[in-house]
Amino acid sequence: MNLWANKLLNFVAQMGLYLFCVMAFYLSTGNCYFIDGKIVDFSLLGWALMLAIWGWGLVFYFRRKNVKILIFATQLSVICFTFDCWRLFAFAANLSAKSYINILLVAEFIAILIAWCIKNNFLLSSALISLLLIYTGCVTAYPALLSWNQILAVSAVWAFMASLQFSHWLKPKFMFLFIGVLLSGWCCYLYYQTNGIHFYEAKITKPAQNVKVSIIVPVYNAEKSLKRSLDSLRKQTLKDIEIICVNDGSIDKSGQILADYAAHDARFKVITQENKYIGAARNTGLAAATGEYVGFLDNDDWVSPDYYENLYRRAKFHDADIAVVAQNYEIFNRVGNKFNKNSQIMFLLNTDVIDNLKTEFFKIPRFVWDKIYRKSFLDKYYIKSSERRTFYEDFFFILQAEINANKIAVAHEGKHYWNRLGKTTSRVSNVPFSEEPALLYLDIFKYIQNAALSPEDKEDWRKLTLIHMEIVFIDIYLSLREEDKDKWVDYCQKLFPDVSFTFSEEKFNELMLKYIVFR
């Protein structure tokens, strides 16, 4: 009993000392400010403190051969470095921090293994503390730093090693049994978490009879992300749905994945066509849709289980032609979620229904996939997607819908996860020149001119579109290759001689700030 109490007190004392030193380090380190990706102010006091403590431990080791102090100082340095990583991540969105965190976790696992082999209780307990603080700090500061699988793994190892530290009376057979149960449970959890159809899931043999929402998924070479998207749809709490997957000429395994899902769940419909781009694929799905409402999902995005049920309920409650979700999440660089807390989202979170679509034009996200649309409404006004192969093809569909809609209902529950893997910014760079974006806006102005609107309404919608067009054209200009920028400027002036464009980052930021455009 006394031995166990001494170990526990030793552990608690070390924990308190670590926490005190780490908080001192954290508080002494100034915030890091970034302007255009460059550090402009950073206090080195915290780093100096960390290195001083480690140096102090090193001196004591060589002078007095006290390995405990060196271990303590080294582990403290590891913890301080970890806290600085997640601090930089949280305050400066420094996405490289995750790789450092993973290296630290592996290093601490190795330290624990060595401590166990050489039966060094001090190293074992200090490594356990380090491991605990690393993943606790990361998860608390920013969950994206660690995946749930990593959190589970760290928790399991920590619990097991702690049991060895404080329960020395455990017999080897119980230890191996504990390890076996732990690993089996972890493997089952990992299998449950994997995307795809699992053997224990029952087939759905009948399609929905009274389809409330038709969900159209254009698919093109998406074998790596497609299962996650389709899983999020088949697990929807709204069961009366049909999922129309349009295979737009994929040459990878996307077609086989779609066939597997259709064989397992009768609510899936698969349409195969030659590659015609995303707008044409959406139109193909729209022609086949039989639901009361229609929604769209990109083949690399996914939604929460209650997503379409909440959208449908809000649309029905307000008898709205369109319903939009208030919360979108961006996923950057396989790191995690980043909530768009901009003015548009804040507007939507405090709004139940939007009646005046012209007044609130720039407060409504310009995406086609974060909404559902009444099918009879789309058919009545012949609303289709643009089939041009260009960016911003969503805008043509959205503008047609907003010009003719009676209102837009806002759903405050449900989340759409917007996949932007491999990108660290909202803007693509080094894009080759294309005439298609400019021609798209010619199509839009032609639609406004021919719409059944009063002259005043036509002029209002034309002015709103001009503002949006200017922002988009500047954004495209900034994304182009250097050798194509002058060509783009000349082409825009040729197509729209009455519009005065200023192609600069400053003008872009000015317009974005003024009109709060959601890209």
| Interstrand relation of 33-35 and 371-374 (parallel, antiparallel or unpaired) | unpaired
Which residues neighbour 439 within 8 Å (Cβ) at sequence distance 6 or greater?
388, 390, 495
291 has pLDDT over 90: yes
497, pLDDT greater than 70: yes
Q: Is the confidence at residue 467, as pLDDT, over 80?
A: yes
Strand order of the β-sheet with 416-420 is 302-303, 416-420, 328-332, 336-339
In the prediction, which pLDDT does 116 show?
Answer: 65
Residue-wise pLDDT tens digits, 223-250: 988 998 999 999 999 999 999 999 999 9
Q: Which of 381, 368, 457 is nearest to 418 (CA)?
A: 368
Distance CA 426, CA 331 (A): 11
Cβ-proximal residues to 68 (8 Å cutoff; 6+ apart), any chain: 122
When pLDDT is averaged across residues 123-149 and rounded to a whole number, the result is: 57
Q: What's the one-letter identity of residue 330? A: E
Give CA–CA dist 404/451, Å, rounded. Answer: 9
Pairing status of strand 213-219 against strand 293-296 = parallel
- pLDDT at 423 (0 to 100): 45
**Alpha helices, DSSP H, located in 119-253:** 121-141, 148-166, 172-193, 226-234
Looking at the DSSP bridge assignments, the partners of residue 330 are 338, 418
CA–CA dist 470, 76 (Å, integer)? 53
The yes-or-no verdict on residue 186 having pLDDT over 80 is: no
- Angstrom distance (rounded) from CA 116 to CA 121: 8
Residues contacting 226, CB < 8 A, separation 6+: 219, 254, 257, 258, 299, 300
d(CA 472, CA 437): 9
Write out pLDDT tens, residues 274-284.
999 999 999 99
Q: Which CA distances in Å does 507 have to 391, 475, 511, 514?
A: 20, 10, 6, 10
Residue 265: is its pLDDT beyond 60?
yes
Query: Is residue 393 very low, low, confident or very high in pLDDT (cuts 50, 70, 90)?
Result: confident
- Tens of pLDDT, residue by residue over 332-360, are 433 334 444 444 466 677 788 998 888 88
Q: Is the dihedral of CA 202, 204, 210, 214 positive or negative?
A: positive
* Residue linked to tokens 């990361």: 138
User: Residue 34 — very low, low, confident or very high, per pLDDT cuts 50/70/90?
Assistant: very low
pLDDT at 385: 92
- Using left for φ > 0, alpha for ψ between -120 and 50, and beta otherwise, residue 318 falls in alpha
What pLDDT does residue 416 have?
83
pLDDT of 67 above 80: no
- Percent of the chain predicted with pLDDT > 70: 56
Global pTM reads 0.68
Which of these, 115, 15, 131, lies nearest to 82 by C-alpha position? 131
Say which range, 98-112, 201-215, 290-304, 358-372, has the weakest mean pLDDT: 98-112
Judge contact between 46 and 80, C-beta under 8 A. yes
pLDDT tops 90 at residue 259:
yes
What element of type H or E holds 37?
none
pLDDT in tens, 98-127: 566 666 666 666 766 666 666 666 566 666
pLDDT at 158: 56
Q: Which residue has the higher pLDDT, 380 or 79?
A: 380
pLDDT at 425: 41
Q: What is the mean pLDDT of the chain?
A: 75
Higher pLDDT, 496 or 29: 496
Terminal Cα-to-Cα distance of the chain (whole angstroms): 64
pLDDT of residue 42: 41
**Residues 122 and 71 sit within 8 Å (Cβ to Cβ):** yes
For residue 519, is pLDDT > 60? Answer: no
Q: Which of 239, 255, 241 is nearest to 211 (CA)?
A: 241
Residue 29 has pLDDT above 60, yes or no: no
Architecture per CATH, domain 200-424, reads as: Alpha-Beta Complex (3.90)
Q: What is the pLDDT of residue 443?
A: 92
Sheet holding 213-219, edge to edge: 268-273, 241-248, 213-219, 293-296, 371-374, 322-325, 408-411, 353-354
Q: pLDDT of 411-423, one tens digit each?
A: 988 888 877 544 4
Q: Who's near 110: CB < 8 A, 6+ residues apart? A: none
Question: Max alpha carbon distance in the chain (Å)?
Answer: 91
Q: Which of 490, 509, 252, 298 has the alpha carbon at shortest distance from 393?
A: 298
Distance between CA atoms of 296 and 398, rounded to whole angstroms?
A: 12
- What pLDDT score was predicted for residue 487? 92
Pairing mode, strands 302-303 and 416-420: antiparallel
| Model pLDDT for residues 431-465, shown as the tens digit of each residue | 888 899 999 999 999 999 999 899 999 999 999 99
**Residue 249 φ/ψ region, left for φ over 0, alpha for ψ in the -120 to 50 degree band, beta for the rest:** left
Highest average pLDDT, of 48-62, 112-126, 266-280, comes from: 266-280
The pLDDT of residue 160: 57
